Amino acid sequence: MNWLTNLMRPDLRNLTAYSSARTEAGGFHPDIAIDANEFPWPPFGSITGQGPLNRYPEPQPRALIQRLAAVWGVTAEQILIGRGSDEGIDVLLRLLCRAGEDEILICPPTYGMYKVAAEIQGAKLLSVPLTKEYQLDVPAILKNCTANTKLIFIPSPNAPIGHLMRSKDILELCTARVAKSLIVIDEAYIEFSDMPRGMLDELKNHDNLVILRTMSKAHALAGERVGVVIGTPELIQNLRKIIAPYPLTQSSIRAALDALSPNGIVQNIERRNVIIAEWERMAKLLPQSPQVVSVYPSTANFLLLQTKDSKAFMQQLAQFSILARDRNSNIPNTLRISIGTPEENNLVLKALGITQSSKTTSPRLFSKRRGTKETVIDVTVNLDAPNFLNIDTGIGFFDHMLSQLASHGGFGLELHCKGDLVIDQHHSIEDCALALGEALKAALGDKRGIARFGFSAPLDEAVANVVVDLSGRPYFVFTGNFPGEKVGEMSSEMVPHFFRSLATAMNAAIHLTVQGENTHHMVEASFKATGRALRQAFQREGSPDNIPSTKGVL
């Protein structure tokens, strides 16, 4: 019997997994699916382009697995996807541990779910504390292991402290426990560390090494529940037999694929860098509070603080409506805080009497893909990086106008549109306006100003006057009359239509008045003046703490 089968629960060795008609049909994609008793219409409120919510999702979504495999440089057969890495912990325990007989080993202070999952499965718990330096006590771990120690769970970066475990110690455990235990390295926060590949490259050297990854922390997807087990194809095949038949929802699969798209990764890295910079700032400033004794070394998106009295500290924060995590149960009088946006961090510091505001502010970058039957648009806007422009809609004059809007608007714009131009430019222009408006609105986040901004742009005999109000109430008023039917290859009637769509998607009021004799001048002045008015509206004003309250006016 091979070593893994030998480690598995004997009653699961010959388990036949649940199989649906679609699994059994392999690659067959029917036009009419009457195999799974689904409702034939999508539900109320479903958004087009989100995947058919009335249909069962793929049990192990192929596209997502392939994308993860490509991003991490492993094979698809090494990946199991589940509802968060918490489900990974659970299925590993269920596959290997007989209730009342087998055991797992943990090294406190550690993540709390290992113990809970073990208790649910009825597995026994061995506990070998970390050393004084909070590293693995390899000799003590090996001494405590028995023939029934099936799993050793090690978070690295550690939770709740946040520092990395030494690779050398992990590999020593793998070697010493070969064919006896799985060494499970839980890398929930690895993307924030300076070794973002974690232990991935050691998988090929150690059959009993297993890695847990999650999209909850560094990929901003805690609400969608996507986690991954990476191990040998043989282990993964067995876990696939016992995991719930459809662990991920259609929308979580979609959200994970979006997050891992090239644009998603770019946005994520930019934001992660802000978190890392803010982590440093907080680690430096927090000891100014008389309540903070020291800050534990961390390389994750949180800090563990040694306080004089963690309960009093929690109460002080609560007065400012701030909730942190009391870790007194792990290490006496410690408290953990997650790194938030620069603006949130400022408020945390303020609550502790430290008034040093961040010079950094939340990145105002947003990417999205907007697809309909007629057009597919990839758009990225960056309100703080005016210098990148890359626009291709297939309509030359429109490209020129969009670049006027962005450069006068003071924002970076990358926009690619594949549309049905052979039929008409109508769809492309309208959908570009909608995609751009939605992206601008999202990039502005909660900092929508309520002031009115206006600009006049003359261009030879023509002049455009624009007033915008990012009020949350879409409205468009156009006054003007273009003498020419076309400008470049673009029909001039599409100009007010563009601005109306933009106003709708941005939730803005835009009033545009244009006069002149030359249509080209009038159109160009309209885009320029709107860009200039938006530039004023996008400006950050005053102190970065000055954000409209979330309970506030808008």
Q: Which helix (H) or strand (E) holds 344?
A: helix 342-351
Using the 8-state DSSP alphabet, how is residue 359 labeled? S
Helix residue spans in 97-153 (DSSP H): 113-121, 138-144
> Which CB atom, from 89 or from 547, has the smaller least distance to ligand PLP?
89
Report the candidate in 403, 274, 410 with the shortest Cα–Cα distance to residue 342.
Answer: 274
> Which CB atom, from 216 or from 407, has the smaller least distance to ligand PLP?
216
> Which CB atom, from 186 or from 431, has the smaller least distance to ligand PLP?
186
The least distance separating ligand PLP from the CB of residue 186, rounded to whole angstroms, comes to 5
**How far apart (Å, rounded) are the C-alpha atoms in residues 66 and 441?**
32
Tokens of 410: 């003071």
**How far apart (Å, rounded) are the C-alpha atoms in residues 191 and 214?**
10
Select the residue whose beta carbon is closest to ligand PLP and give its number. 84
The least distance separating ligand PLP from the CB of residue 490, rounded to whole angstroms, comes to 48
> Which CB atom, from 186 or from 414, has the smaller least distance to ligand PLP?
186
> Which CB atom, from 158 or from 501, has the smaller least distance to ligand PLP?
158
> Which CB atom, from 227 or from 342, has the smaller least distance to ligand PLP?
227
Using the 8-state DSSP alphabet, how is residue 392 labeled? E
Cα 448-449-450 angle, rounded to 5 deg? 120
Helix residue spans in 410-518 (DSSP H): 426-444, 494-506
The least distance separating ligand PLP from the CB of residue 158, rounded to whole angstroms, comes to 8
The least distance separating ligand PLP from the CB of residue 184, rounded to whole angstroms, comes to 10
Q: List contacts with ligand PLP (CB under 6 A).
A: 84-86, 111, 155, 159, 186, 188, 214, 216-217, 222, 227
**Within 13 Å, how many C-alpha atoms sit on residue 410's CB side?**
12
The least distance separating ligand PLP from the CB of residue 211, rounded to whole angstroms, comes to 12
> Which CB atom, from 85 or from 148, has the smaller least distance to ligand PLP?
85
The least distance separating ligand PLP from the CB of residue 93, rounded to whole angstroms, comes to 14
**How far apart (Å, rounded) are the C-alpha atoms in residues 26 and 131?**
51
**How far apart (Å, rounded) are the C-alpha atoms in residues 135 and 101?**
28
> Which CB atom, from 325 or from 418, has the smaller least distance to ligand PLP?
325
> Which CB atom, from 214 or from 289, has the smaller least distance to ligand PLP?
214
Residue 464: φ, ψ to 5°: -120, 135
**How far apart (Å, rounded) are the C-alpha atoms in residues 485 and 6?**
78
Task: Answer whether 149's CB lies under 8 Å from 184's CB.
Answer: no
The least distance separating ligand PLP from the CB of residue 89, rounded to whole angstroms, comes to 7
CA-only gyration radius of the chain, Å: 28
**How far apart (Å, rounded) are the C-alpha atoms in residues 251 and 57?**
9
Report the candidate in 329, 338, 288 with the shortest Cα–Cα distance to residue 311.
Answer: 329
Cβ contacts of residue 27 below 8 Å, gap of 6+? none
Task: Answer whether 123's CB lies under 8 Å from 103's CB.
Answer: yes
Q: What is the 3-state secondary structure (H, E, C) of 59-83?
A: CCCHHHHHHHHHHHCCCHHHEEEEC
> Which CB atom, from 188 or from 259, has the smaller least distance to ligand PLP?
188
The least distance separating ligand PLP from the CB of residue 540, rounded to whole angstroms, comes to 32
The least distance separating ligand PLP from the CB of residue 117, rounded to whole angstroms, comes to 11
Q: Tell me the sheet residues that pair with 381.
A: 366, 413
The least distance separating ligand PLP from the CB of residue 140, rounded to whole angstroms, comes to 21
The least distance separating ligand PLP from the CB of residue 217, rounded to whole angstroms, comes to 6
The least distance separating ligand PLP from the CB of residue 294, rounded to whole angstroms, comes to 22
> Which CB atom, from 86 or from 524, has the smaller least distance to ligand PLP?
86
**How far apart (Å, rounded) are the C-alpha atoms in residues 492 and 482?**
7
**Within 13 Å, how many C-alpha atoms sit on residue 236's CB side?**
22
**Within 13 Å, how many C-alpha atoms sit on residue 164's CB side?**
16
> Which CB atom, from 159 or from 236, has the smaller least distance to ligand PLP?
159
**How far apart (Å, rounded) are the C-alpha atoms in residues 401 and 414?**
14
